[in-house]
Structures are given as C-alpha cells and as structure tokens.
DNA sequence: CTTTAGTACCTTGCATTGCAAGTTACCTTT
DNA sequence: AAAGGTAACTTGCAATGCAAGGTACTAAAG
C-alpha cells in the first residue's frame, strides 16, 4: 500500500523530537518510551529507537541511569540533560514553523499571520 | 549547527505532500514549484525535487505537459492526476493525524476530543 | 559566427537513517 | 536444568535528501 509508506515517511524526522518530548515528561527506559509513543499512535520499533537513543546520548542531549528491576534485567532510564531541554524547545519551534508552512501551502487563504 | 540538521530532518517525508499540494493549486514546472515552496519557507533544491517528481510520475500521481517558453528551453508543466488528488487527500489526513499525535505527546492536557 | 550568460531539465554518488531481524543477558517459573 | 519473559543492543538493507555536475535550448554580446 502506497499510503502506508507515505505516512511512515512523514514520521521520519519527527521521531527525535518525540523521543525527547517523551523522556522530558519523566525518565523512561526504552520499552516505556515505545509504549508511550504507541499510545499516541506513533509506532516506533526497537531497531529504530536504540540507534536513535545512542545518537541522542552521544550528542549530549540525554543521559541515563541504570536501575535494578524487581523482575527481569536491569533498566536503563533515560532523562534529558539541560542541553536536551534547550534542544527540545528549538525542535518544537521548528515543528511549529513547519506546521505553519504546510498549513499556508495547503490552505493559502487562512493566513492568520 | 545541530538545529539546522534536525529541522531539515523534519521536513523529510512531508515533501511529497507539499509538492502534490503545490501542483494541485495549478500546474507548475519545476522552478515554479521550488519558488512556491520557498515562499512558504520550505527550502527544497533541484537535486531533491527532480527525483521526487520522477517517483510521483511513475506512481501515476502526476502527469505533465510540455510547453514552449517565449525565452529559454521548453517547460514541463506538472499536474495532478485523479489518483494524485485522492492520494493527496490521504496524505493530508495522515499529516493531520501526525500533528495530532505530536500535539498529544507534547501537551498531554489539551485533548480537545 | 562564436562566445557568454541565463534558464530549465536531469543524473550520479554519498551520507544519513528508519527498520526488520537477529543476538546477548538476566530473571523467574516449571 | 529447561523454557519463557523482559530488556538491552547490533547488523545489514533499502530508501531518500541533497550537493555537485552535466546537457540542451534561447538570447544577447563581441
């Protein structure tokens, strides 16, 4: 199906922001992030998330804390650094700007400035 | 700069929709599309646009008409096919859904429906 | 007529990156 | 000990945005 691929495309590039936003609410480990995003209909999978988290970490935008789990292997809780918070603000600004541009493009009449 | 790269990332996947939307207003040739997108602050370049137009064409979403130019080489005017119109509708729906998801993620309180 | 400049089309190759699939490791239960 | 569940991570592929380069046509300048 073409449409599936296209909507998948649209999610690209927004993931970074979404993950930062998810973690900014409260520290989370990977599976929690996946479930959180899924709960707002943003399907992400492990193979996407882990490399992205690694990138965000090496960029200094997130840190993590290991914590033992009552049942199962230890968990790596990710949380935003101060840099990450600033960056998330910039990303949301960029996102809003994009949304605005697209709105103007699709519906040129409603320029509410 | 990190932020530039990130906002560039966000534009990915939305381009297809934007190009279809631009052409749907009236038939345009490549340079006009570029200028139109630039006018709403969506910077796209030739190297991106031409392969994408080729993809849209081979997917049957756009057609084109050659037309002589008073000054310069002939122009290839792109226009939406009926399939393309349907597809554009689906894309905008997907875009709205994405926007909604992100809104819920970033600002969980304002669930207006 | 030849050269330069402008416009328009298109292609090649690289780097990024989302994702499917597979791997390792720990803990609990049978 | 074996099986199952959870969690972290890696590898390799395919898609794709984009910089850079190339071709072709017209008009104007030399």
Helix runs in A1-113, H state only: 2-11, 15-25, 30-39, 46-58, 82-106
Mind telling me how many Å the CA of B73 is from chain A's nearest CA? 28
Domain ranges of chain A: 2-106
Question: A91 vs B7: CB contact, 8 Å cut-off?
Answer: yes
Contacts of A99 (CB under 8 A, 6+ apart): B99
Q: Vertex A99, ends A94 and A101: CA angle to 5°?
A: 95
Structure tokens at B11: 């534009």
Q: Mean of the pLDDT values across residues A14-38? A: 96
Tokens linked to A75: 């968990």
Residue A81's φ and ψ, nearest 5 degrees, are: -85, 175
pLDDT, greater one: B52 or A7: B52
DSSP A43: -
pLDDT greater than 60 at residue B1 = no
Average pLDDT of every residue of chain A: 90
Query: Does the domain at residues B2-85 carry the CATH identifier 1.10.10.10?
Result: yes
Rounded-to-integer distance, Cα A25 and Cα B24, Å: 40
Tens of pLDDT along B51-109?
Answer: 999 999 999 999 999 999 887 899 999 999 999 999 999 999 999 999 999 999 988 76
- The pLDDT of residue A72: 87
Q: Is the CB of residue A45 less than 8 Å away from at least one CB of chain B?
A: no
In this predicted structure, what is the pLDDT of residue A1?
Answer: 55
CATH of domain A2-106: 1.10.10.10
pLDDT score of A3 = 67
Distance (Å, rounded) from C-alpha B91 to C-alpha B102?
16
């Amino acid at each position: 199906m073409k449409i599936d691929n296209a909507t998948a495309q649209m999610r690209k590039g927004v993931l970074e922001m979404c993950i930062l936003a998810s973690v900014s609410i409260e520290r989370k480990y990977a599976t929690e992030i996946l479930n959180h995003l899924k709960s707002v209909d943003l399907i992400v999978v492990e193979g996407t998330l882990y490399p992205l988290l690694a990138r965000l970490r090496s960029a200094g935008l997130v840190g993590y804390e290991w914590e033992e789990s009552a049942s199962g292997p230890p968990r790596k809780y990710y949380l935003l650094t101060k840099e990450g918070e600033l960056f998330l603000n910039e990303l949301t600004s960029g996102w809003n700007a994009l949304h605005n541009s697209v709105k103007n493009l699709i519906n040129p009449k409603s320029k509410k400035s």
